[in-house]
Amino acid sequence: MDNQLLLKKLDSLSIEEKIGQLVQLTGDFFEGDMDTVVTGPLKKLGLDSSYNVYNTGSILNVTDPDKIIRLQTDYLKRSTHQIPLLFMADIIYGYRTIFPIPLAQACSWNYEQIEQTAAMSARECYDEGIHVTFSPMVDIVRDPRWGRVMESPGEDTLLAMKYAESQVLGIQGESGQRTIPPHKIAACVKHFAAYGAPVAGREYNAVDMSEHMLRQYYLPGYQAAIAAGAKLVMTAFNTLNGIPATGNEWLNREVLRRDMKFEGVLISDYAAIEELIMHGYAEDGADAARLALLAGVDVDMKTAIYANQLEKVIAGNGHLMSLLNEAVYRVLQLKNDLGLFEDPFRGLQDTLQQQKSSVLSDEHRQAALSLAEESVVLLKNEHQVLPLSKHKKVALIGPYAEESSTLGMWAIKGNEADTVHLKTGLLKHVAPDLLSVCKGAYMLPLTAREALGKYEEKLAAETVAEDALLQEAIRNADEADVIVLALGESVYQSGEGGSRTSPMLPESQLRLLHELSVLNKPLVVIVYSGRPLILTEVAAEADAMLQAWYPGTMSGEALGNLLYGAANPSGKLTMTFPRSVGQIPVYYNELNTGRPDLPENGSYRFATRYIDEVNEPLYPFGYGQSYTTFEYRLLSVSRENMSHNETVDVSIAVENTGSHDGKETLQLYIRDKFASVARPVKELKDFRKIFVRSGETREVQFSIREEMLRFYGGTSEYISEPGEFEVYIGSSSRDIAFAFSFTLLQEGK
């Protein structure tokens, strides 16, 4: 449909029909006869009984294809305006084929693969009738107490940008095209803005940060998604400097629409418009509707506010009426971009009839396996305990030994029955008579389970006394040559509403670790978690440690391959692992301060330091080991002085000096030595992940351009400033192989 027709369509709508387009409900509003709907879901949500559900514009989290066909068919029969429904869902890192959680994916540093798997996830959605996914989430995170760090690519701005771009391109296809082609769906970047920085890591808590911090570190991820063409943006639940994001006109109109040039649909987060009242920002429902409309929020997710209040609020107000028209037009445009006016099902009936669905295809499972292998991070490997020999007797112990709940909290269509657990993964490499398996401890003590609320029942019941589990584990370990201990937090301890003050392993699992470590057998610990846990105690006792995150459908197979060396670990952390809770937030790109903690100062008191803990984290950003070793040689640096249109070209040789083929991620960091605002001690500016065969050498080139040196300077403009820059190249933010400096000349010189 061309724009003229779309405008005509808009003009033909009554005000109720227009407002309906901005309302998002769940599927239950459309099931059963109108009497039951009125007394059921309508009442529950507080929707006026006069509200016509057949004006509603979109549906949330209905993911069953038959149901989608049924609802759409029925809706189109009953609606007067004949505008198809949009089906939106949280398919964050896989529909049925579940890929590793986003924090894990980012640790692969393999953005080509991230794009491919996002495309597969979109393909499964398309094949099952979903039009929009609420992904990617690109909130920067520095605080592992917050449960949703699992959904984020981590603490770094450049990586958030890469992740945003790869996801949007994978989900929607090539940027710059208006229409979304078959096999692709629309992407929604979230949560605008700065949702990842709640005070004290407590879910939904206030966010307070300077505009400099916001623009410099937090906004570029969303901006990259918009530049890649993301059709939707979702608001955040939090206040930002006192104003709730969902009612924040400055944030959504000036920053998002004017500065960031976003033209698509802005949807509220779940019930966030109504929550403007709880925030103490809106007086009542009518005020909330007015504030949200003024702030440019197009769609009201799952509340009765727009439906009940907008008409009254707008009455006779020409300005608000024009804002309503703009919002509705954007929703119609999205439907048009998806081709829904031509085919409201986007080929769904054909896909079903011809059984063409790509759900859980071999290709998708293989990609999930490969990305899972690249996402796991080898944190420690003393005496080269790993990879394991196939001839050794293994005691596989721990609550994750046979656990299929390794999909993470946002796998709404993921099915644990499709998941390969660790035992199955190991049995691909080791004979059954060389493997014993037992639990050793429950996932969580009873006291911690209660806090999980409705998820409590998902945890396995305690049928045997914990001590008996421990004794069995000690017996098995005694008889084995090596212990593989699969520990972790429960998937229900991270994700939304999963904030923790002590992000550690439960006491019972630590006790199991202590009891096994005194047996003096090689001890390999695998850690499953949705966040960096404090692993200081674990690291002191384990010989080897693999950070598995939640690896998804192919979990066990990926870990089996890694443990036995069929795959070589190459993941590198994208979020710092603190040594102790009190260090939080700890991140690599911090400021130097006026009193840096220098080694030569010893225990000098008046430096930026703790008196009871070192500043250094347990594992730094960018860190991760391999079964092989790499040596870097600096071959050349093209210049010492650089003008604005020149580049500093760096050439490095990377030699695989070990006995395994492997992948290495070289990281290039820059420090601006002196500027109109204090700049971080280092910032990731580029990286390369390369494959090098054992004994071979590969050359890697980096080019430093003037744009890479820009930042929001003292005048709030995005600029570079002349002067000295230091460059560090290494295998992590801590392990720097070499450093050099260059000078950026005054513009025009």
Here the tokens at position 85 are 């429904």
Interface map 134-163 toward ligand BGC (x if CB under 6 A): x-----------------------------
Report in angstroms how near the CB of residue 137 gets to ligand BGC at its nearest. Answer: 6
User: Is residue 496 within the footprint of ligand BGC (CB under 6 A)?
Assistant: yes
- Helices of type H across 536-655: 536-541, 555-563
The one-letter amino acid at 461? A
Judged by CB, which is closer to ligand BGC: 25, or 422?
A: 25
User: Is residue 18 within the footprint of ligand BGC (CB under 6 A)?
Assistant: no
Interface map 357-386 toward ligand BGC (x if CB under 6 A): ------------------------------
Here the tokens at position 334 are 């999205």
Report in angstroms how near the CB of residue 234 gets to ligand BGC at its nearest. Answer: 6
Report in angstroms how near the CB of residue 605 gets to ligand BGC at its nearest. Answer: 44
Judged by CB, which is closer to ligand BGC: 143, or 269?
A: 269
Report in angstroms how near the CB of residue 412 gets to ligand BGC at its nearest. Answer: 8
Report in angstroms how near the CB of residue 204 gets to ligand BGC at its nearest. Answer: 9
Judged by CB, which is closer to ligand BGC: 334, or 618?
A: 334
* CA atoms of 673 and 669, how far apart (whole Å): 13
Q: Which of 678, 682, 731, 725 is nearest to 704 (CA)?
A: 725
* CA atoms of 617 and 590, how far apart (whole Å): 13
* CA atoms of 253 and 250, how far apart (whole Å): 6
Judged by CB, which is closer to ligand BGC: 122, or 487?
A: 122
Give me the half-sphere count of Cα atoms (radius 13 Å) on the Cβ side of residue 640.
Answer: 0
Judged by CB, which is closer to ligand BGC: 195, or 217?
A: 195
Judged by CB, which is closer to ligand BGC: 87, or 632?
A: 87
| Interactions with ligand BGC, residue window 513-552 (CB under 6 A) | none
* CA atoms of 453 and 473, how far apart (whole Å): 30
CA 731 centroid distance within chain = 23
- Contacting residue, 270, 400, 587, 687, with ligand BGC by CB under 6 A: 270
Cβ atoms of 313 and 293 within 8 Å: the answer is yes
Judged by CB, which is closer to ligand BGC: 61, or 665?
A: 61
3-state DSSP assignment of residue 173: coil
Q: Residues touching ligand BGC: how many (CB under 6 A)?
A: 7
Q: Which of 414, 687, 428 is nearest to 562 (CA)?
A: 428
- Residues whose CB is less than 8 angstroms from the CB of residue 295 and which lie 6 or more positions away in sequence, other chains included: 246, 247, 248, 249, 251, 252, 253
Judged by CB, which is closer to ligand BGC: 89, or 562?
A: 89
Which stretches of 299-455 are assigned E, i.e. beta strand?
300-301, 377-381, 394-397, 435-438
The one-letter amino acid at 366? Q
User: Is residue 190 within the footprint of ligand BGC (CB under 6 A)?
Assistant: yes
Q: Which of 96, 139, 99 is nearest to 115 (CA)?
A: 99
Judged by CB, which is closer to ligand BGC: 60, or 379?
A: 60
Return the C-alpha torsion angle 500, 504, 505, 508, nearest 10. -90
Judged by CB, which is closer to ligand BGC: 279, or 685?
A: 279
Residue 365: enclosing H or E segment and its boundaries? helix 362-375
Report in angstroms how near the CB of residue 23 gets to ligand BGC at its nearest. Answer: 15
Judged by CB, which is closer to ligand BGC: 58, or 656?
A: 58
Q: Which of 387, 382, 419 is nearest to 403 (CA)?
A: 419
Check if 11 is active-site.
Answer: no
**Which of 90, 139, 156, 269 is the catalytic position?**
269
Report in angstroms how near the CB of residue 135 gets to ligand BGC at its nearest. Answer: 8
* CA atoms of 440 and 99, how far apart (whole Å): 28
Query: For 144-170, b where at least 16 C-beta lie within 10 A, e where not — what string?
Result: bbbbbbbbbbbbbbbbbbbbbbbbbbb
Here the tokens at position 533 are 């846990």
Name the burial class of residue 174, with classes exposed (0-12), middle (13-18) and buried (19+) by CB atoms within 10 angstroms of its CB: exposed
Angle among Cα 98, 103, 106 to the nearest 5 degrees reads 95
| Interactions with ligand BGC, residue window 62-121 (CB under 6 A) | 90
Angle among Cα 673, 675, 680 to the nearest 5 degrees reads 55
Interface map 46-65 toward ligand BGC (x if CB under 6 A): ---------------x----
In this structure, the strands spanning 482-488 and 394-397 are parallel
564 φ, ψ (degrees, to nearest 5): -100, 5
Summarize as ranges the residues that interact with ligand BGC (CB under 6 A): 61, 90, 134, 190, 269-270, 496
Residues that are catalytic = 269
